[in-house]
Each structure stands twice: as C-alpha cells, then as structure tokens.
C-alpha cells in the first residue's frame, strides 16, 4: 500500500515537472484546502465556544451590577453610562436595557476603565473585584468631582467610610461621598 502511494506521488511530481495537467495534484490541493478550511472552522468554533463559556461564567457576577444600572435608570430616571472592557458584555447590557425599556436613558461603552476620564461623571456605580478597589480609590480621588457620589457593589472601597450601605452578602452595596 505504501509503495503504491509512493509511486503515485512520483508520477504526480513527474507530471508537474512536465507541465501536464495533474488530476491527482488538483485532488490533493483540494484536499489540503478542505483540511485548512476545517482547521479554520475548528479554531473559530473553539474561540466562539470559549467566548460563550466565559460569558456564561461571568454572567452571575455581571448581572447584579447590570440590574443596579437598569434600576437606577428606571426608578430614579437617571442617565446612566456603563463602561465595560468585554464587548460581549456591552452588547448583552445594551440588549437588557432595551428589554427593560431604558435604552433611551442608558448607554454602554466598550472602554478600559483605567483609561477613562471620570471628570465628566458626577456619580459612579462601580462593580469591580476586590483587588481593584485600592487603585480605584486613588483614581476617584483624582478625577471625581468633590460633591460626587460612589456606589460600590459587592466590594467596598478599602479606606473610604460609607455614608450608607444596603443589602447583605454578595448583594451588598455601599454609598460613598468623595472625601
């Protein structure tokens, strides 16, 4: 069997050298293209699957913050801007705001929080991880207006004293006035 394959390859190479139309070569070329196409589709599938899995994993952590932004827009009739680095979560947030009927008073942008200038915002609702809160405090002191308010969800600011807190456990939120 191997000998027959080697013989076919030699014949194909000879035909190519002579400039003849090579049916085997075209077939092999097509098979290579199909293999490349299948590899590309597999990579797209794996990447898409990973993105969906990460979004599903992140949803329980993001959903409480999204609910608070939507609730602020609904009940307090506040203009709200959500900032998120993950574009999938931004699109999900926009869809949820639309479904909740607050898309006209909310917007969500894909942006790095650390590169966003907070001077244009008087009040901030932050839903972050515990490790980012000390750095966030420093950013807020530098950029938040002196009469600005901060609502921290799930994790408190480490050195600021809250003026109020609501909820319990992972649903706790703290209200701060900039010191």
Q: Do the Cβ atoms of 126 and 152 come closer than 8 Å?
A: yes
CA distance 22 to 33: 16
Tens-place pLDDT, residues 62-81 = 555 556 666 666 676 777 78
The residue that leads in pLDDT, 78 or 43, is 78
- Exposed e or buried b for every residue in 97-114, given b needs 16+ CB within 10 A? beebebbebbebeeeeee
The residue that leads in pLDDT, 77 or 32, is 77
The residue that leads in pLDDT, 33 or 166, is 166
The residue that leads in pLDDT, 178 or 65, is 178
pLDDT for the residue numbered 62:
53
The one-character DSSP state at 152 is E
Q: Is the pLDDT of residue 161 over 70?
A: yes
Q: Work out the average pLDDT over 27-54.
A: 55
Q: Do the Cβ atoms of 143 and 120 come closer than 8 Å?
A: no
Average pLDDT of the chain, as a whole number: 73
Q: Is the pLDDT of residue 22 over 50?
A: no
Tens-place pLDDT, residues 102-136 = 888 888 889 999 999 988 888 888 888 889 999 99
Q: Work out the average pLDDT over 36-52.
A: 56
Which of the listed ranges 4-18, 69-83, 146-160 does the model predict with the highest average pLDDT? 146-160
pLDDT for the residue numbered 152:
87
Measure the CA angle with vertex 46, ends 94 and 55; round to 5°. Answer: 30
The one-character DSSP state at 118 is G
């Amino acid at each position: 069997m191997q000998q027959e394959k080697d013989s076919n390859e030699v014949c194909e190479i000879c035909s190519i050298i002579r400039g003849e139309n090579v049916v085997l070569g075209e077939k092999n070329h097509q098979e290579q293209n199909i293999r490349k196409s299948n590899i590309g589709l597999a990579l797209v599938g794996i990447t898409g699957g990973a993105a969906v899995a990460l979004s599903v994993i992140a949803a329980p952590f993001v959903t409480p913050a999204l609910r608070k932004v939507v609730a602020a827009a609904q009940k307090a009739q506040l203009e709200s801007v959500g900032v998120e680095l993950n574009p999938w979560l931004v699109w999900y947030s926009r869809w949820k705001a639309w479904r909740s009927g607050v898309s006209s008073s909310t917007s969500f942008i894909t942006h790095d929080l650390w590169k966003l200038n907070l001077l244009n915002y008087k009040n901030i609702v932050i839903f972050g991880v515990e490790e980012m809160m000390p750095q966030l405090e420093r950013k807020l002191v530098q950029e938040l207006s002196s009469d600005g308010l901060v609502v921290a969800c799930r994790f408190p600011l480490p050195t600021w004293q809250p003026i109020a807190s609501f909820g319990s456990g992972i649903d706790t939120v703290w209200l701060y006035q900039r010191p």
